[in-house]
Structure 1
Amino acid sequence: MAQILHIDSSPRGDRSFSRKFSHEFLAAWKNAHPDDTVTYRDLGRNPVPHVDESWIAAAFTPPDSRTPELNQAISVSDSLVDEFVAADRYVLGVPMYNLNIPSTLKAYIDQIVRVGKTFVVSPEGAYQGLVTGKKMLIVTARGGSFTPGSPTAAWDFQEPYLRAIFGFLGITDIDFIHVENLSGGDAARADSLANTEEAIAHKIASW
């Protein structure tokens, strides 16, 4: 039995394709794996706080030296880190905003990237992720296409960033399903949606 953390980051409701397909994947997965449990976090509608000065002070103060105010400042982050570390697998729905990720997801990532909790630094200055042995599936929604080798591939700061930051934490088994060309006209969109349905069916069988 696996514990899955499902995170959506789009503020849109029924019109969100990243939300639609992340839910579709989880529904099919639960049907095939009924004993797995899912924790759901909707960052698009319930965003987490941004890091501020009090958060930074708390994060770099030993727990037994924190004031009540500093404990309060870091409490949301502590809860998010515990939830993140407890999961075995992750499913993320992530729209592309201006070639990258929504600010809601960036705020969440800033809350869970914590030295001593999700990564450590060796005396020699080497970084080591502590969140290892996990799997992640990221469903993106994009107006255009950023296929490797295409003229627009260099504009994709979404997948490289997500691979890098979660890899930094130790999660290297990451798969992507890109729902692309959503602004490319009816035919392009229909092809993309059909390809996404096929990709989800394949991933259910192989994830």
Structure 2
Amino acid sequence: MKLLHVDASPKQASSSSRTLSRFFVDQLRAYSPSLSVDYLDLAAEAPPAMTEIFARATYTSPEERTPQMRAELAVSDALCARLLSADALLFAMPMHNWTMPAAFKAFVDMIVRGGLTYVATDDGRYVGTLGGRKTLFLTTRGVDLRPGTPFAAMDALTPALRAAFGFIGVTDPVFVDAQPMQFAHEVERAAAMRRAKAELSLHAKAWSETEPRAALSRAG
């Protein structure tokens, strides 16, 4: 199994999302010793912001793109290639102001690409090309946004991730959310980490028991 592991927290040693993502990868490797990991740290390798040239280039056919357009798309092309070559996807991030961190939003802007991660069909539909890949979104939240809590309606992160990645073919992602973290007592933070680790252990075991459909389809 080849895993694309993406961290998006601007924090390093003190990052809970990074701690949990490393825990998941360690668990997965324990079950699948042959695991291959392609690691991307968006805090260290922040994708560039979209530009006018980038926007025009994405809607210009490849054979008509200028050298400047091709250069502008180079980072996006490389990121899309890394996504498409992976069998499974792990995206770890903190919630920032109720949604995704800026670096991860820039990443999303780079990977939602016509002709690469989605295609337009002759009958007017848009079909994502990332179907079949096991996908886990690991998030940490400052407050508790679980159903029934006062902040439950403030979760703009989960629907945004479902929408963006659903469009490019990720139809059945798993979410593991550690909450509350920042605005909580130590005992609550510890409980949130324990819950998240327990869920991650279960998902690591489940992932190891079946080969990703994408890998099987490529092998066939």
TM-score normalised over the length of structure 1: 0.95
- In the other structure, the counterpart of 1:35 is 34
The one of the two structures with greater contact order (alpha-carbon pairs below 8 A, sep at least 6) is 2
Give the number of equivalent residue pairs: 206
**Does residue 3 of structure 1 match 2:9?**
no
Matches of 1:65 and 1:109, distance apart in 2: 25
**Does residue 61 of structure 1 match 2:79?**
no
Kept after mapping to 1: 8 A contact 2:99/2:157: yes
- In the other structure, the counterpart of 2:115 is 116
Matches of 1:199 and 1:176, distance apart in 2: 9
- In the other structure, the counterpart of 2:153 is 154
Matches of 1:14 and 1:94, distance apart in 2: 14
**What one-letter code is carried by the residue in structure 2 that aligns with 1:168?**
F
Matches of 1:202 and 1:66, distance apart in 2: 46
- In the other structure, the counterpart of 1:92 is 91
**How much is the aligned-residue C-alpha RMSD, in angstroms?**
1.3
Matches of 1:65 and 1:126, distance apart in 2: 24
**Does residue 139 of structure 1 match 2:138?**
yes
- In the other structure, the counterpart of 1:75 is 74
In structure 2, stretches of 5+ residues that fail to align are: 208-220
- In the other structure, the counterpart of 1:107 is 106
CA deviation after TM superposition for structure 1 residue 124, in Å: 4.2
CA deviation after TM superposition for structure 1 residue 198, in Å: 1.5
Matches of 2:206 and 2:10, distance apart in 1: 30
Deviations 1:22-46 (A, max 9, x none): 0111012112211121100000222
TM-score normalised over the length of structure 2: 0.89
Matches of 1:199 and 1:66, distance apart in 2: 46
**SS state at 2:92 partner:** strand
Deviations 1:71-94 (A, max 9, x none): 111111111111111111011111
Kept after mapping to 1: 8 A contact 2:57/2:65: yes
**SS state at 2:6 partner:** strand
In structure 1, stretches of 5+ residues that fail to align are: none
Matches of 2:188 and 2:94, distance apart in 1: 18
Sequence identity of aligned pairs in percent?
34
CA deviation after TM superposition for structure 1 residue 187, in Å: 1.5
Kept after mapping to 1: 8 A contact 2:94/2:141: yes
Deviations 1:111-146 (A, max 9, x none): 010111111223443222121111111111111111
**SS state at 2:159 partner:** helix
CA deviation after TM superposition for structure 1 residue 201, in Å: 1.8
**SS state at 1:202 partner:** helix
Matches of 1:64 and 1:24, distance apart in 2: 44
